[in-house]
Chain A
């Protein structure tokens, strides 16, 4: 199989289906074309991911400007899982809105084409070897997804959209400054115009980069991409955007867009670590941002009234946990990558449930939604179990990855980090449990007749839950090798030799 063409197609299939969706004659056809685009891209991506993760190849295309190694393949896998599930869900969700005449053909065209566009730009972020193009991809996701927030134009959604564009654009502009500084730090190495911004060349020459400039670059990059990833204190756009966007959009925001921004930071970690002589200078910042995000999110989770805002603060908490894992290094990197998948799957499910229950109850206010279990068995179980998984209840996979993280802090004697982590997650545990129990079993002031659910809805709830449960008890060998090789790329132990071989 010619993987050079496959890498190109991964970008072009969603981009073209996005263009086609603009001209869709009916809502059903628009949704169908969107699903066709997403699923055909996913199938192709799986073949490439298989080649990288199972056979250990590194794919290159477009004279090394596009590439896929274990780290990008793993993240791409998480992305297509999130996008495929969310696309099925979008069909169910918008079917309901169409039934109630809440949606025009114009809005559905706009949604489907932007949805595919968002997929294309996130793919660019993941498979580009050029750090400049990676930045272009991140900025493009901001611009494309901005209109997804206000599919339904209202005062609240406009407010959320304005905050989102302004804060994220400014943040990402900082990341651009960081990218320039990183390129400037390589000036002494004597790379040509074609190679100056390639991750592979920077990684191979990381030891000879100017340490002062790369440090300055990393601060800009961390603040810039951190804004997009929703790390506190740059998170202020996140709860607004997540709560105002339609549920499928919140699901991809939380399930993957934040991870895409964090992925950019992951790429710079090994470069900075090597350039600063493995001093752990950059990692300390990640630990700091991670812990701060967990604490801030914990403080806000306790007082939430809106279920989608609650889930948004959970995203801040979990992105903080992932950043903390990268900051700790070693087993922590492995745990953080594992947590990425667990969190994305679980958060996608919880936004699905919150969105459908919101449609049934006509509100996202948790008080008005209480007693959801008798009203909709399937979605009630969905929201309850996903909230339980998010706060780290034992057999679910999120517990396992958090447990590995705790083990890392004990191994590295990071007692202060451990205690702050336990305090933060402890508050989240109690606070979110206090929301989850009335949400499932509480008594509602109004009485609702139980809602029937289709097979697809049950599928969307029980398959992710089953996967989370299985991964919590048993890790397949393929996943273990994939995680290890991806973690090695960040942990500076892997990558160099194999890449040097390819480039010569």
Chain B
């Protein structure tokens, strides 16, 4: 445990497991907010020796948007909808954690397979941690019924890809990076509006009960 990066990666994976095992939406949102702040810091720590304006801007933008703006939007969603927790997900919470262990195993194996580049000490955990986060997000989208939980899953998935992006490709131009961040921001915003409409029209947020259109 000698490098801060290692600690951050472990925290990232632990937060994934917390998300898989917790049912209270409010707590889940706080954890996703924590993940967002962690990733903002990660971008800075990863290049501590050679900070550029570009990196600082990206880190600050993702810190603010993922750490503060998304949680505010989502908490408002909870207040409007009046749902506190997911009662009966497709996959139970214990099973979700077990699935998380399997995903971690697969990620470690994949991380060894991909010929990506080590960037100094403590970096061997980065690709597995990024992939675990990606899979966790995907799993939450599939295994949970509540539309808010699915929206959280999308943000977590994006967090995983972002982590991957910081380390595998350092040279993405600022404009592209900001465009991507804007898209993710608008995506969550649009999902928020959709959730608002769904709640008003149906009086619930269970996406498995959105089942009129078939065949």
Write the nearest CB–CB distance from B184 to chain A, whole angstroms. 8
A212 touches B212 (CB 8 A): no
Write the nearest CB–CB distance from B180 to chain A, whole angstroms. 6
Q: A153-B197, A213-B115 are in contact. Are A193 and B215 (CB under 8 A)?
A: no
Nearest A residue to B160 by beta-carbon distance?
A177
Stretch among B3-11, B65-73, B97-105, B187-195 lining the A interface:
B187-195
Report if A423 contacts B (CB, 8 A): no
Tell which of A140, A166, A212 has the most Cβ of chain B within 10 Å: A166
Q: A159-B212, A166-B141 are in contact. Are A140 and B154 (CB under 8 A)?
A: no
Report A-chain residues with C-beta under 8 Å of the C-beta of B197: 150, 153, 158
B172 touches A163 (CB 8 A): no
**Interface 1/0 per residue, B103-126 and A, CB below 8 Å:** 000000000001111000000000
A161 touches B194 (CB 8 A): yes
A196 touches B172 (CB 8 A): yes
**Interface 1/0 per residue, B186-215 and A, CB below 8 Å:** 110011011001100110000100111101
A212 touches B198 (CB 8 A): no
Report if B1 contacts A (CB, 8 A): no
Write the nearest CB–CB distance from B202 to chain A, whole angstroms. 7
A213 touches B171 (CB 8 A): no
Report A-chain residues with C-beta under 8 Å of the C-beta of B91: none
Give the size of the chain B interface in residues (CB under 8 angstroms).
43
Among A146, A156, A181, A240, which residue has its beta carbon within 8 angstroms of that of B168?
A: A181
Report B-chain residues with C-beta under 8 Å of the C-beta of A160: 213
Among B173, B176, B207, which residue has its beta carbon within 8 angstroms of that of A162?
A: B207
B115 touches A177 (CB 8 A): no
> Cα distance A212–B116 when bound, in Å?
10
Report if A210 contacts B (CB, 8 A): yes
B43-71 residues with Cβ-Cβ distance < 8 A to A are: none
> Cα distance A130–B172 when bound, in Å?
10
Report if B22 contacts A (CB, 8 A): no
Write the nearest CB–CB distance from B215 to chain A, whole angstroms. 7
Report B-chain residues with C-beta under 8 Å of the C-beta of A158: 194, 197-198, 201-202, 210
B134 touches A177 (CB 8 A): yes
Nearest B residue to A183 by beta-carbon distance?
B169
Count how many pairs of residues, one from A and one from B, have CB atoms less than 8 Å apart in the complex: 128
B144-192 residues with Cβ-Cβ distance < 8 A to A are: 147, 150, 154, 157-158, 161, 164-165, 168-169, 171-173, 175-177, 179-180, 182-183, 186-187, 190-191
Interface of B is mostly: helix
Report if B138 contacts A (CB, 8 A): yes
> Cα distance A240–B164 when bound, in Å?
33
Give the size of the chain A interface in residues (CB under 8 angstroms).
52
Report if A435 contacts B (CB, 8 A): no
Among B115, B164, B175, B202, which residue has its beta carbon within 8 angstroms of that of A210?
A: B115
Write the nearest CB–CB distance from A56 to chain B, whole angstroms. 30
B173 touches A184 (CB 8 A): no
Report if A173 contacts B (CB, 8 A): yes
Stretch among A131-139, A455-463, A481-489 lining the B interface:
A131-139
B138 touches A165 (CB 8 A): no
> Cα distance A156–B169 when bound, in Å?
42
A183 touches B187 (CB 8 A): no
Report A-chain residues with C-beta under 8 Å of the C-beta of B213: 156, 159-160, 163, 239-240, 243-244
Write the nearest CB–CB distance from A3 to chain B, whole angstroms. 22
A193 touches B114 (CB 8 A): no
Q: A156-B213, A170-B138 are in contact. Are A162 and B198 (CB under 8 A)?
A: yes
A180 touches B165 (CB 8 A): yes
A156-194 residues with Cβ-Cβ distance < 8 A to B are: 156, 158-163, 165-166, 169-170, 173, 176-177, 180-181, 183-184, 187, 191-194
Write the nearest CB–CB distance from B167 to chain A, whole angstroms. 9
Nearest B residue to A176 by beta-carbon distance?
B161
A156 touches B215 (CB 8 A): no
> Cα distance A160–B212 when bound, in Å?
9
Among A162, A177, A187, A212, which residue has its beta carbon within 8 angstroms of that of B117?
A: A187
Write the nearest CB–CB distance from B211 to chain A, whole angstroms. 8
Report B-chain residues with C-beta under 8 Å of the C-beta of A205: none
Q: A183-B169, A213-B114, A213-B115 are in contact. Are A173 and B161 (CB under 8 A)?
A: yes
> Cα distance A6–B193 when bound, in Å?
36
A166 touches B173 (CB 8 A): no
A304 touches B215 (CB 8 A): yes
> Cα distance A153–B190 when bound, in Å?
15
A-B contact sample (6 more), CB < 8 A, given A180-B165, A183-B169, A216-B114: A132-B177, A132-B179, A135-B180, A158-B202, A170-B138, A244-B213
Closest 5 CB pairs of A and B: A132-B176, A136-B179, A193-B171, A159-B210, A184-B168
10 A–B pairs (Cβ distance < 8 Å), ordered by A: A132-B179, A146-B190, A158-B201, A161-B194, A162-B210, A169-B187, A169-B191, A177-B134, A181-B168, A184-B116
